[in-house]
């Protein structure tokens, strides 16, 4: 069962991202570099926000659970804001480096456009964010001492200390609910990966055109999604709205980056035409 859960959750969470990588990014070395740099920037933002949270935790009373939880929620929102700040920083860096990037591509290869960079950067953010959410869960589902052996009781260790967090890793949950949690986690990770990609496109587009309301919308939607996740484990409250937002973002990003119903139509008819002619 654990192997099935492992593969299922892995494919749910990373399947689309992997497909996007293989089909659109893997062949172009410059895009791979931009992807990894995007992942690096997300990591930096996470690092700084963890630092702030850690300092807050250490400075506060560790016995007061409500305070700890409040600080964690503050950490969540601060992290979201910092991620957007770093997205903006990455945008500025890429803009500055555009000429240099054009120089290091192959002579016959096309230089990368801002829209492509936006997509790749967003995907980089998304992949890293997804990996950080999912990888530990996935490895735990494979490892020995599988979750759920010990029956119905649920323990959540909500501490910040490192040794205790090692204990946390042996979360004992209900056998039935553990794989549910992992599946929900995988679905949420998938949604976040796609969201980061779309937000990347929209954010860069907004920065390019100096449409500050677009940027504000992206930031507030990110905050909204993080806020919705605060409703967990009531997954009915968080997952459907998040997926709704994902769809909305997808459509918006598509139209914002130059797609239109006409081009969709052309794509379908051309495929049909190619199918007929071959």
Per CB under 8 A, residues contacting another protein are: 29-30, 32-33, 36-37, 39-40, 43, 46-47, 49-51, 53-54, 57, 69, 72-73, 75-76, 79-80, 83, 100, 103-107, 128-129, 131-133, 135-137, 139, 156-162, 165, 168-169, 171, 181, 184-185, 188, 192, 225-226, 229-230, 232-233
Closest CB 17 distance from another protein, rounded Å: 14
**CB 40 → another protein: shortest distance, Å?**
5
Taking the complex as a whole, the smallest distance from the CB of residue 152 to another protein amounts, in Å, to 18
Residue 21: CB atoms within 10 A of its CB come to 18
Q: How far is the CB of 169 from another protein (least distance, A)?
A: 8
220 versus 263: smaller Cβ distance to another protein: 220
Among 190, 185, 195, which Cα is nearest to 219's? 195
CB 132 to another protein: min, Å: 5
| Nearest Cα to Cα of residue 195 among 135, 116, 125 | 125
CB 28 within 8 A of CB 123: no
> Residue 199 or residue 256: which is nearer to another protein going by CB?
199
Backbone angles phi, psi at 164, to 5 degrees: -65, -30
Q: Which is closer to another protein, CB of 205 or CB of 225?
A: 225
Nearer to another protein, 170 or 270 (CB): 170
Shortest Å distance, C-beta 211 to another protein: 25
59/162 with CB nearer another protein: 162
For another protein, the closer CB: 82 or 215 = 82
Of 77, 197, 27, give the one whose Cα is nearest residue 127: 197
Query: DSSP string spanning 186-243?
Result: HHHHHHHHHHHHHHHHHHHHHHHHT-HHHHHHHHHHHHHHHHHHTTTT-HHHHHHHHH
> What are phi and psi for residue 42, nearest 5 degrees?
-65, -40
Radius of gyration of the chain (CA): 21
CA pair distance 163, 146, nearest whole angstrom: 20
């Amino acid at each position: 069962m654990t192997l099935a859960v492992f593969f299922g959750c892995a494919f749910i969470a990373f399947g689309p991202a992997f497909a996007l990588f293989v089909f659109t990014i893997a062949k172009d070395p410059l895009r791979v570099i931009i992807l990894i740099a995007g992942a690096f920037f997300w990591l930096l933002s996470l690092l700084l926000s963890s630092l702030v949270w850690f300092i807050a935790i250490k400075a506060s009373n560790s016995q007061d659970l409500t305070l700890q939880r409040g600080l964690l929620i503050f950490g969540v929102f601060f992290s979201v804001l910092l991620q957007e700040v770093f997205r903006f920083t990455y945008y500025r860096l890429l803009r500055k480096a555009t000429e240099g990037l054009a120089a290091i591509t192959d002579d016959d290869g096309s230089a990368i456009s801002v829209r492509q960079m936006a997509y790749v950067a967003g995907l980089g953010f998304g992949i890293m964010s997804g990996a950080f959410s999912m990888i530990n869960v996935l490895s735990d589902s494979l490892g020995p001492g599988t979750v759920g052996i010990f029956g119905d009781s649920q323990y959540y260790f909500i501490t910040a200390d490192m040794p205790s967090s090692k204990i946390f890793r042996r979360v004992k949950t209900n056998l039935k609910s553990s794989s549910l949690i992992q599946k929900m986690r995988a679905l949420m990770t998938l949604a976040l990966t796609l969201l980061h990609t779309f937000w990347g496109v929209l954010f860069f587009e907004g920065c390019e055109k100096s449409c500050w309301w677009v940027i504000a919308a992206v930031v507030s939607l990110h905050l909204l999604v993080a806020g919705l996740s605060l409703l967990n484990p009531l997954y009915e409250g968080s997952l459907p709205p998040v997926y709704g937002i994902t769809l909305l973002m997808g459509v918006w990003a598509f139209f914002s980056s130059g797609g239109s119903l006409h081009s969709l139509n052309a794509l379908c008819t051309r495929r049909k035409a190619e199918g007929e002619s071959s």
